[in-house]
Amino acid sequence: MKGDITFILGGARSGKSTAAERLARRGDRVLFVATAEALDEEMERRIRIHRRSRPTAWDTLEEPRALVSTLQPRLPHYDVFLIDCITLWVSNLLLSMEGHPDAERRAVDETRRLLELMQDSQAAWIVVSNEVGMGIVPASPLGREFRDALGRVNQMIAARSSRVLLMVAGLPFEASLPSV
């Protein structure tokens, strides 16, 4: 279905990536879009484990920030795009603009551009993100800015998604989208 978006949210280790990969296996030509950067040994190990869990037939694109310009030329080549994850993408965007007074607005603008790209494509999209608004208030201004920006971005993606899943302890809970 053209521009179909499935949005998968949850906390850390809730089963988001596993659920997303299970859904993506239904596609023939899958591009796994990884937004993580291996900035330390522990993250390198996590990335290696994730790579091994994916089917070898899938292509992988590692892009921490420039999703729209990097994905645009690849649209005709895939029928499923799996982005894992929006959390790290927003974090990467904010960190690249740290101290800029309108960093959050720029992240929201990039999200708007990404959603337009998704909806104008012929592909199915599976998008993974963390739900970070259910915990404590972050102690630092950057932490609060990140939580707020990701909350706004998650709301934008959910509003345009045809399906939204909340993962809890490996179990999917499907949200019924209200008609507003």
Told to judge if 77 belongs to the known catalytic residues of this protein, a careful annotator would answer no
Q: Which of 13, 18, 19 is nearest to 164 (CA)?
A: 19
Query: Whats the size of the chain, residue-wise?
Result: 180
Residues with Cβ within 8 Å of residue 36, at least 6 apart in sequence: 43, 46, 47, 62, 64, 85, 88
User: Which DSSP string corresponds to 66-83?
Assistant: -HHHHHGGGGGG-SEEEE
- Per the residue annotation, which of 25, 29, 50, 147 is the catalytic one? 50
Cβ atoms of 77 and 122 within 8 Å: the answer is: no
Is beta strand 4-10 parallel, antiparallel or unpaired with respect to 171-174?
unpaired
Q: Could you list the active site residues?
A: 50
